[in-house]
Amino acid sequence: METTVKTFIIPNELCRRAGVAASWLSINELGVFGHQKIVSQVDKPSAFAPSDASVFQLRQDIILFKPILRKLVNEANGTFLNVQNLTATASEHKPELLKMSRQYRSIVRACLENLQDEVMRANGDYREELQNYITIFYSVECIWHLCEILFVDAVPGNIVLPHLLDWVRFHFPKYERNAATMLSGDLGGLESHPDYWETVIGSLLQGRIKVARALLKLHSDAETQPFKVVDQCLRAMPVYNMFSGTSVAEFNMQWNHWVVDVQSKIDAKLFISCYNLNLIMKLAVGDEIAWGEIQQYCEAWYELLAAWLFFTQPTVKSFELGQLAKQCITKMSIGNRIKHLDRVLLAAMEFDVLQVIKEVQHMTENGWFVCHLTDLLYHAGRLSDLNVESENFQPEKLRESFLIDYGTLLMGHKSLWQVGLSYLDHCPQDGLEVTKLLLPRLPLDSELRTQKIVREAINRNLPETAQSICKVQGMVCKNRGRLGHALAWALKSQDSAFVSYLADKFLRQYSESGNLTNADLLDNLGSCILASDRLIFLGKYFEFHKLYRAKEYKEAASLLISLLESKIIPNYFWGILLTETVPLLECEEMVFSSTDTFTIMQCLEEREHLKELKDKIALSRLAATRNLARALVHEAQLN
């Protein structure tokens, strides 16, 4: 595996002199800054001071985040989830899996078409960039198609040639296009067309016998003997069809007969009058010299491979491909110029799935391809039957590691985080842990977003994560100066310490200003009030205020007594609470019984040292005694 190190220069004088350090900002971003390790314990001015400090944000350029490719990301996500649903429910899912594989390919195709449309309109650097994407996704499509034929599709009898021909035709459409224009144009005398013979031979090589025959019929010499014989031969050429009922042995016999027949015609020099016809027939019988000659018509070795197999081994089995592919590469003598795409295709033909995955990993589309392909191969059962030497190779882990990489990458994007999550959901081993780590790292821009993130956490049964996100949102609200709003989020977070902290803020605010704010919220706490003792106190105290203001003194008084008797009064609030008793004690209508008054007096004595009661204690005592007298007389009368 080649390792390449890329160096980025940070254009900053301080960084140059002092050296740099970096820390992660978000999932895909690094902050780089000038940094020098300080060893000495003594605090002294830096040698670099005074100096401007800058932080440089470094971000990987991810092509999948380009708007034009985001369609691919989202659409493929739908298919990915369908694959997961399918394999989770259906027991026999091979045919469906093939459909999914085709769906993926059609998504890539749609993306390529989009890119091609766009490239027409673009210019300059952007055009080059788009061309680059087209190259990447063209390779993706080509590899995917071959992998689908070899690994996903269950080919009856393992006869892969028809599929290989389809594949080659799809990726090298030049001859087909040329043939179509020629056939639809003026009839007769086609040989004057400069590409005529190339198209005839190209069509033959791609196994389009009928097209080739149609083209030959339009030659002005079509009625001469050699042309007629060639037409006859081509018409008689046996083509293996797995549904025809012919066995492979039977077909091979027919095939050998045909080859002997054609060879005898060549030997009888029936075609010698026309060079190209002779060449075609020689190809048909696998004449090495002829094949050497037509290599120029093949752009790639695999195009030659398919053609060669068509004329020499039409019933080739898929496991023989690797060997034959190597021969083709040698024939075209491109062994030393072999490119990345060639390597992947060769590995696929050699049925080396791991090698394919390894190579595909090096493609520069940020893991989209390797993640989806590995997942598909995993579900097709192609990863479990590998003879891997390393002992701790586990197909689940391989698949999961790609999914996690890809999911994490998407989580780093402002908009695609939900898509990223759905990949992590399908990692049985570590997915949930990664989700737990990443969800709280998503920036909370608006409540709409926060609510969606919280919901995702709840859907994944991560209540702690959801609560911690609520808490963060609560802190944000608190810092914005909105206590009630913060309390609402704190209640969602179910963190009683945080709730108490906020309730304290309310009470302190009240003790300073005399105003209880956020009445609408405090009035409707409902069962949430039980979140913390401090909140219970706040809620009850608010209720007391409400009753008092509504002049319901009796009820207010009994609530006040039950508050005094409870153990939940914050220390700083005793002063206020005891002061509140005075007007009620002095109330025209008697609202405290003698027992109540004793409670008040006991509290007063216990707290007499309180600073804020200092100048009020005498007054309070007087009021309490007067009420006690009133109450005792009243109660005596009742008895």
Partner 1 sequence: MTHNIHGTFVSEKINKIRWRPDFMNDSHYFITGSWDNDQNSIKLWDFQENEEDAEVYPFLVTEFCHKGDVTEIKFLNGDFFVTSSSLGSVYLMKISSEHGIEPLIENKISWEGIHKFPNEEISPCTAFATNDNDIVSVGEDGTINLLNSQNQSIFRKFNNADSCSINCVTFLKHSEILTGNLRGQLKIFDIRASKNEPTTIFMLSGDQVAPLCLQHHPTQRHLIMAGDEEGSITIWDLRQNAYPVNLLDAHEGSISEIHFHPDHPNQLFTCSGAGDVWHWSPKSGGMATAGLTAENVWLASETIKNKLDVFTLMPKLHKPINSVDVNRNKVICGCDNEAMYLINGINIFK
Interacting residues with partner 1 (CB under 8 A): 67-68, 70-71, 74-75, 77-78, 81, 414-415, 418-419, 422, 445-449, 451-452, 455, 479-485, 487-488, 491, 517-518, 520-521, 523-524, 526-528
Q: In angstroms, what is the minimal distance from the CB of 403 to partner 1?
A: 15
DSSP for 4-28 reads ---------HHHHHH-EEEEE-SSS
CA 475 to chain centre: 30
Q: Which is nearer to partner 1, 137 or 167 (CB)?
A: 137
Q: Which is nearer to partner 1, 506 or 553 (CB)?
A: 506
User: C-alpha angle 587/593/598, rounded to 5°?
Assistant: 105
Collapsed DSSP state (helix, strand, coil) of residue 30: strand
Q: Which is nearer to partner 1, 158 or 451 (CB)?
A: 451
d(C-alpha 138, C-alpha 134), whole Å = 6
Q: Which is nearer to partner 1, 473 or 597 (CB)?
A: 473
Q: Which is nearer to partner 1, 18 or 371 (CB)?
A: 371
Q: Which is nearer to partner 1, 81 or 222 (CB)?
A: 81
Are the beta carbons of 341 and 143 closer than 8 angstroms? yes
Are the beta carbons of 285 and 263 closer than 8 angstroms? yes
Q: In angstroms, what is the minimal distance from the CB of 58 to partner 1?
A: 17
Q: In angstroms, what is the minimal distance from the CB of 515 to partner 1?
A: 12
d(C-alpha 35, C-alpha 17), whole Å = 9
Q: Which is nearer to partner 1, 445 or 512 (CB)?
A: 445
d(C-alpha 284, C-alpha 264), whole Å = 12
Rounded to whole angstroms, the maximal C-alpha distance in the chain is 144
Q: Which is nearer to partner 1, 361 or 518 (CB)?
A: 518
d(C-alpha 378, C-alpha 371), whole Å = 11
Q: In angstroms, what is the minimal distance from the CB of 149 to partner 1?
A: 28
State the residue for tokens 């090298």.
Answer: 172
Q: In angstroms, what is the minimal distance from the CB of 480 to partner 1?
A: 4
d(C-alpha 355, C-alpha 502), whole Å = 59
Q: In angstroms, what is the minimal distance from the CB of 100 to partner 1?
A: 14
Q: Is 95 exposed, middle or buried (0-12, 13-18, 19+ CB in 10 A)?
A: exposed
Q: In angstroms, what is the minimal distance from the CB of 283 to partner 1?
A: 41
d(C-alpha 299, C-alpha 173), whole Å = 11
Q: Which is nearer to partner 1, 277 or 419 (CB)?
A: 419
Q: In angstroms, what is the minimal distance from the CB of 65 to partner 1?
A: 9
Q: In angstroms, what is the minimal distance from the CB of 388 to partner 1?
A: 33
Q: Which is nearer to partner 1, 77 or 627 (CB)?
A: 77
Three-class HEC string of 401-437: HHHHHHHHHHHCCCCCHHHHHHHHCCCCCCHHHHHHH
Residue 143: φ, ψ to 5°: -65, -45
Are the beta carbons of 576 and 541 closer than 8 angstroms? no
Q: Which is nearer to partner 1, 71 or 339 (CB)?
A: 71
* Other CB atoms within 10 Å distance of the CB of residue 486: 25
Q: In angstroms, what is the minimal distance from the CB of 482 to partner 1?
A: 6
Q: How far apart are the first and last CA of the chain?
A: 100
Q: In angstroms, what is the minimal distance from the CB of 471 to partner 1?
A: 15
Q: In angstroms, what is the minimal distance from the CB of 447 to partner 1?
A: 5
Q: In angstroms, what is the minimal distance from the CB of 512 to partner 1?
A: 17
Q: Which is nearer to partner 1, 61 or 588 (CB)?
A: 61
Helices (H), 300-446: 301-312, 321-331, 340-349, 353-361, 368-379, 395-411, 417-424, 431-438
Are the beta carbons of 29 and 59 closer than 8 angstroms? yes
DSSP for 81-145 reads HHHHHHHHH-S--HHHHHHHHHHHHHHHHHHHHHHHHHHHH--THHHHHHHHHHHHHHHHHHHHH
d(C-alpha 345, C-alpha 323), whole Å = 13
CA 503 to chain centre: 41
Q: Which is nearer to partner 1, 408 or 450 (CB)?
A: 450
Q: Which is nearer to partner 1, 186 or 445 (CB)?
A: 445
Q: In angstroms, what is the minimal distance from the CB of 521 to partner 1?
A: 4
